[in-house]
Amino acid sequence: MIRSLIALFLSLSVGQAVASGSGNLRVLDFDVFLNDREVGKHRFELLEQGESVAVSSTMSLDFKLFKIKSVTYRHQANEIWQAGCLVGLQSETEKQGKTVAVEAVRDQSGLVIQRPEGVETITGCVRGFSYWNPQWLEGEKLLNAETGINSPVEISSDVSEQDNTTHIKIALAKADIDLQYSAAGEWLSLQTELLIGGTLRYQRVF
C-alpha cells in the first residue's frame, strides 16, 4: 500500500512538472572510490517544483574486500520532500544477494515507516541524509533511507577562508560522514570510513 502511494506521488509530481514546464530537473553524478580505487557510481536525479522535491537515487558498487571476498551492493531509493521535510520514501537495497526494502509515507499521524523489523511512526518534520541540499541537513536525527532507522546525529559545519568551500560533518554513533560544497553551494564530495574497513569517497563528475 505504501509503495503504491509513493509511486503515485512520484508520477504525479513528475507528470505535473513536465506538463507545466515549471519543474527544475538536476542530475548529480558521482564516481565512488574505496581507498582511492574506483568501485562504482552513484546518481541523484532531483525534480524540484516550488517547495516540493522528488529525488531518485541509484547506487552500484562492486569490489573485493581484502582482495579476497567479492562484495556487491545495489541501492535504489525514491524520496518525496516538502518544505524541507521527508514525506515519502521507497528504497530497495541488495547486499550479497539479500534484499532489504523500506517504505514510508506521511499521514495525519506522522511519517509511517515500514521496514523489516516492523512499523514505526515519527511525528513532526522528519529529516534525512539530503546531501544534495545542505540547508536541509539539520536536526538531532536523520532518517536512513537504506535501513529506515531515524539515527541520532551531530552536525557541524565550517567554511574555508582560503577558497570559501563549506565542510559539513555528520557524526553518527559508529562513523562520521564528511561533505564538501563549493562556494556556490554545489555538492562536491563525500568521505566516510566503512565498518568493514576502508575509506569510501564520492567525487562529483561534472
Show pLDDT as tens, one digit a residue, over the chain (206 residues): 455 555 555 555 444 544 455 679 999 999 999 998 999 999 999 999 999 999 999 999 998 876 777 889 999 999 999 999 999 999 999 998 899 999 999 999 999 999 999 999 999 999 999 999 999 999 999 999 999 999 999 999 999 999 999 999 999 999 999 999 999 999 999 999 988 778 999 999 99
pTM for the whole structure? 0.88
Residue 194: other Cβ atoms inside 10 A: 12
Residue 140: the pLDDT is 97
Residue 131: other Cβ atoms inside 10 A: 22
How do strand 176-181 and strand 187-193 relate by DSSP bridges? Answer: antiparallel
What range does the domain containing 11 cover?
A: 2-205
Number of structural domains (the chain) is 1
Residue found under cell 562513523: 175
In sequence order, what are the residues at sequence separation of 6 or more whose Cβ sits closer than 8 angstroms to the Cβ of residue 156?
Answer: 168, 169, 171
Separation of alpha carbons 156 and 129, rounded Å: 14
Residue 18: the pLDDT is 46
